[in-house]
Amino acid sequence: MKYQVGTPGRVVVARFEDREDILNNIISIARNEEIRSAVLYLLGGIRHGRVVVGPEKEELPPEPVWRDITESHEVLGIGTIFWQENEPRIHFHGAFGKKDMVKVGCLRGGSETFLVLEAVIIELKGIEARRELDKASGLSLLKL
């Protein structure tokens, strides 16, 4: 195990409107505000997106199992923001539900707000972390 200790920095609260791109908007905030390390909370509605719900088998590199969100769902989740080279990268896991259907997984790629989505970003000061491509898994993993 490796870890670092930091302190909370700035807090950003954002409201995304209907049909806005969720992950790209968060990346824009991190880039515009030079937020290098942060924890992220999302709460609201999602219209569409793609979610990884686990690997097909427990082997490296993992073959992801995808589930599509193709209509409005409630979303609640937590993520992190760390940079990989010159770009902020988001790792976000959430619960996505509609009626009696619930998906839990990692939101990746294009995604779109349904009606409204709230984001709270808490900057982490004193943390020297980044994402790096891990050759064994093929994933961009946290490097401390």
Q: How far apart are CA 129 and CA 133, in angstroms?
A: 13
Percent of the chain with pLDDT over 70: 100
pTM: 0.94
Per-residue pLDDT, 44: 98
Q: Which amino acid is at 141?
A: L
Listed by start position, the domains of the chain span 9-143
Instruction: Tell the CATH topology of 9-143.
Output: 60s Ribosomal Protein L30; Chain: A; (3.30.1330)
Q: What is the mean pLDDT of the chain?
A: 97
Q: Give the pLDDT band of residue 8 (cuts 50, 70, 90).
A: very high
Closest CA to 89 of 24, 136, 134: 24
Per-residue pLDDT, 2: 95
Q: DSSP letter string over 8-68?
A: EEEEEEEEEETT-BHHHHHHHHHHHHT--EEEEEEEEEEEEEEEEEEESSS-SS--EEEEE
Kindly state the average pLDDT of the residues 111-120.
98
Kindly state the average pLDDT of the residues 107-134.
97
